[in-house]
Amino acid sequence: MLLRLVLCVLALLPAAAAFQAAQPVETYRPSQYPDRIILNWTEDASAGFAVTWRTSTAVSHGFAEIAQAGENAEFAKSAKRVTAATEAYSTDLGPAHAHSVTFTGLQPSTAYSYRVGDGANWSPWNTLKTASQRPEPFTFVYFGDAQSGILPYWSRLVRQAYAHAPNARFLLHAGDLINRSTLDQEWGEWHAGAGWINQVIPSVPTPGNHEYGRLAENGPRVLTSNWRPQFTLPLNGVAGAEESNYFIDIHDLRVIVLNSNVLHKEQAVWLEKVLASNPKAWTIITFHHPVYSTAVRRDNKELRELWQPIFDRYRVDLVLNGHDHVYGRTRLVTGTVYAVSSAGTKFYERKPTAVFDRIAEDTQLFQVIRIDGNRLVYEARTVSGALYDSFELTKRRGRPNRHTNRIPATPQRLRPAAAAR
């Protein structure tokens, strides 16, 4: 009996290994049923949000329905139906239709339920609460690169993050959501990894270098054809970087998204204007390539020299990056804290430098950030939920933020050779 049991387990191992690697390609082809449903905030998160989804080309028209959420199913009787914008696009998995609706003119601090479909095939009803027009405490989650091990390993990190911050107002992705820009299957894994979480918490993404690729061998690098069809983001950025450079206002925070792959100088001019007219107390900026690199043989000197003086002038509170696959978090650098994180399973060797108060190699992390009045609390947590790093910023009128480390009394996670040095 024991021998037969062992043989059965061994027989299952190849199948289990194949499942860990990826699901069959057919799993990610579009159908008439709406999939890859994802939320994004509009420029003013108190007044609107967008929803985007995908179907096969057999669905020529999409619809979204919305109503103020109710305590029973009666709310659906008052739902308003909106015709979606439908866009044809094609990937290596074939043609598809992307559908999107932007709900505007909504009431602040109000829960709305919505669903999407074609009139016959509908998604479940999901609920999202708009932001307040006044400052109030809120939380969001920041992820570095998903990129590799997306479905088997990144998914568990996203779900652990949701367990720690189920009321997060958005999920911020600092680029390299996938590894190969031309493989639509990887986007299918990214959406499947987060699952229904993307349908109830808006995403704030920025593209990394792996969202860019060449359509021809010697052609220019271009943004993946999946980016704009599957996100509906504010069009308030630089021309030529639409939906990859933008900002949103939510509670007392302005989130500014830069695209560090293109148009650096043009975005610098735009950024100066956006910061000069910023009405919010807190400012957080995200883009892919770090201001202060954490990995060996990496340094974005030109980007740092162009953008950091602007951050300094306007006392940007926090800059969130990815790309380097080594966690690192600085103390205040001319008034700003810089963080680099990695959410997937691709890791590099750390760069020895004194600028970081806390580093980690070979560690999947998510970051929960809470703003409450004049306080910002940042926590980096492992995939098991353990606290790995933390600090607090306190606003002081006319002076730089007060920075207070809350680092737990646990060793830094370093490779054995590095730990021995």
CATH of 138-420, one of 1.20.1050.10, 3.30.1660.40, 1.10.150.20, 3.60.21.10: 3.60.21.10
**Fold equal for 28-129 and 138-420:** no
Domain ranges for the chain = 28-129, 138-420
Among residues 138, 140, 136, the alpha carbon closest in space to that of 369 is found at 140
Query: How far is residue 169's CA from residue 256's CA, in Å, rounded to a whole number?
Result: 15
pTM of the model: 0.93
Are 338 and 142 a contacting pair, CB within 8 Å?
A: no
Query: How far is residue 146's CA from residue 158's CA, in Å, rounded to a whole number?
Result: 10
Among residues 351, 367, 320, the alpha carbon closest in space to that of 158 is found at 367
Q: Are strands 138-143 and 171-173 parallel, antiparallel or unpaired?
A: parallel
Are 296 and 334 a contacting pair, CB within 8 Å?
A: no
What is the full per-residue pLDDT of the chain (421 aa) written as tens digits?
433 433 343 334 343 333 344 577 788 999 999 999 999 999 999 999 999 999 999 999 999 999 999 999 999 999 999 999 999 999 999 999 999 999 999 999 999 999 999 999 999 999 999 999 999 999 999 999 999 999 999 999 999 999 999 999 999 999 999 999 989 999 999 999 999 999 999 999 999 999 998 877 888 899 999 999 999 999 999 999 999 999 999 999 999 999 999 999 999 999 999 999 999 999 999 999 999 999 999 999 999 999 999 999 999 999 999 999 999 999 999 999 999 999 999 999 999 988 999 999 999 999 999 999 999 999 999 999 999 999 999 999 989 999 999 999 999 999 997 544 4
Residue 345: DSSP 8-state: S
Strand pairing partners for 86? 99
Phi, psi of 173, deg, nearest 5: -115, 120
CATH of 28-129, one of 3.30.70.100, 3.30.450.20, 3.40.190.10, 2.60.40.380: 2.60.40.380
Phi-psi region of 43 (alpha: psi -120 to 50; beta: other; left: phi over 0): alpha
pLDDT of res. 145: 98
Strand pairing partners for 87? 98
Q: What letters, b where the CB count within 10 A reaches 16 and e where it falls short, cover 126-142?
A: bebebbbeebeebbbbb
Query: How far is residue 322's CA from residue 146's CA, in Å, rounded to a whole number?
Result: 10
Among residues 111, 403, 138, the alpha carbon closest in space to that of 252 is found at 138
Residues whose CB is less than 8 angstroms from the CB of residue 2 and which lie 6 or more positions away in sequence, other chains included: none
What single string gives the DSSP state of each residue in 107-148?
Answer: PTT-EEEEEEESSSSBPPPEEEEPPPSS---EEEEEE-B--S
pLDDT of res. 191: 98
pLDDT of res. 22: 56
Dig out the tokens for 258 from the structure. Answer: 């830069």
Phi, psi of 96, deg, nearest 5: -155, 170
